[in-house]
Amino acid sequence: MPSPPLRAAPLLAAALLAIPALTAARAPAPTADEVIARWITARGGRAQLKSVHSARLFGRISFGPENGGPLVVLIARPPRIRTQFTLEGRTMVQGYDGHIAWLGNGASVQQLPADQAKNVAAGADLDGPLLEYASKGNRVVLAGLDTADGRPAWRLDVTLANGLRDSYFIDTASSLQTKWRGARTEQAQPVVYESWFHDYRAAGGVLFAYRIDSRTVGRSGGQTIALDSVQLNVPVTAADFAMPAAPAPKTP
């Protein structure tokens, strides 16, 4: 059988790429709980997810081709998190100890205001807001079929117990999360953040996105997190997440 003319190839490719979207659109829409159940299975299953009590993630964060540095994230149950990265020789540390969120830069440390603290606390949930969402006080609604990275995805609109509103995009084919969008307040101004999740790999039987690209809608630039490794069930103590004492003032 002869090959189709070259001019027809883009049309043929477009038609083939459209097949998954058409299939998803024609199939009966699942419920929010069914989408979440598929996502749980895709990541490794409920039992496997719940078996993880802590995780340490190593990688690199970058804000441009020549502006990046090493990143270490420590996260544990009950929800606690510590994020540390270094840029141009300056180390920044952000944490949440289960009660307060804080930020330190080596020269000073401060408790974060309520709006920022909500966001840090939300990121401290090892399972994310979808798993056992009702018991956490979260509300989830299936908004319908959407797209993420040009692929069909079910959009779940989530209202967290602390009032934050987010959208999670679950790929119809892989059932993995491909996008997140959240409305926040930054310096008293409303902003919308978006993140895309790529390069899923298994660690201890659980899939993690090893690349996360993020941006603020309407602004130039963005950030990329590229993981090198994930360690599960590492030992942690309360001190790992506690807000450190303020550095002593330098003597003249």
pLDDT digits (tens, 9 = 90+) for 205-229: 999 999 999 999 999 989 999 999 9
For the cut 70, the answer to whether the pLDDT of residue 22 exceeds it is no
Q: What is the mean pLDDT of the chain?
A: 89
Residue 69 has pLDDT above 90, yes or no: yes
Res 107: pLDDT: 85
Q: Give pLDDT tens digits for 29-66.
A: 999 999 999 999 999 999 999 999 999 999 999 998 78
pTM of the model: 0.86
Q: Where are the domains of the chain?
A: 29-240
The DSSP string of 119-171 is HHHHTT-TT-SSTTTGGGT-EEEEEEEEEETTEEEEEEEEE-TTS-EEEEEEE
Highest mean pLDDT among 12-21, 102-111, 115-124, 232-241: 232-241
- 55 CB neighbour count, 10 Å cutoff: 22
Q: pLDDT at position 14, please? A: 41
Q: Which tens digits make up the pLDDT trace of 70-98? A: 999 999 999 999 999 999 889 999 999 99
Instruction: Determine the pLDDT at residue 5.
Output: 40
Q: Which two tokens stand for residue 223?
A: 């950030």
> Is residue 198 over pLDDT 80?
yes
pLDDT score at 246: 76
pLDDT band at 252 (very low <50, low <70, confident <90, very high): low
For residue 65, CA distances in Å to 61, 94, 223 come to 11, 24, 10
Helix (H), strand (E) at residue 37 = helix 32-43
Summarised one tens digit per residue, pLDDT across range 155-183 is 999 999 999 999 999 999 999 999 999 99
The predicted pLDDT at position 248 comes to 61
Can you name the residues that pair with 137 across neighbouring β-strands?
none
Structural fold of domain 29-240: outer membrane lipoprotein receptor (LolB), chain A (2.50.20)
CA distances (Å), origin 202, targets 83, 173, 210 = 22, 18, 10
